[in-house]
Amino acid sequence: MASSRLSKFALFLVLATAAAVAQAPTRVRGTITAVQGDVIVVDGKEVKIGPKSEIVYTQPIALSEIKPGDFLGVTSTKRADGTLTAYEVRRFPKPVNPGHRPFDGRDDRTMTNATVSAMVQAASGRELTLTYEGSAQKIVVPESASISTLVPGTRAQLVRGAPANLTMDAAGTALRVQVGPPVR
């Protein structure tokens, strides 16, 4: 009897885990290659834009518009000496997932979501110091880095050639689409 209950419980856990994995949002990153009504194509994947899909736009800004206390998401490459060099700096309207971690499953790329504690002109270039619970990262920001802020977006910004970073549900409907100006 106890063995039967244990087997049923184990089966329940397996099914619950499978259901949770199947329903986890899928991330898609790439360039919009087509727009057809309520469907966009990003990186070969068709994604529906529903009435509840959130759209945010990456509005380009100057680094001088970023101030201490702002919350940033900085995507960086890690040099052999451990120095972090930003290739994308994004100001968020509110803190999102603070911390420092590998990005895109690569050892040479990182994502730091943290608060600006200092900005200086260093010998190596412009440098940000970002702090998050229990730690800090210094990141060099070259002139070539993409710098933007997130603002509410519209469907009109979902155009061919625009970079998109989105999450979609198991049915293929976008939960959140982050879109930028089309690459020329």
pLDDT reading at 121 higher than 50: yes
Q: Which residue has the tokens 């995507």?
A: 75
The H or E element spanning position 176 is strand 174-179
Mean pLDDT of the chain: 87
pLDDT tens per residue, range 105-117: 788 999 999 999 9
Residue 109: what pLDDT?
93
pLDDT reading at 4 higher than 70: no
In this prediction the pTM is: 0.73
CA 105-26-154 angle, to 5 degrees, is: 110
Q: Does domain 2-49+158-179 have CATH number 3.30.70?
A: no
Report domain extents, the chain.
2-49+158-179, 66-146
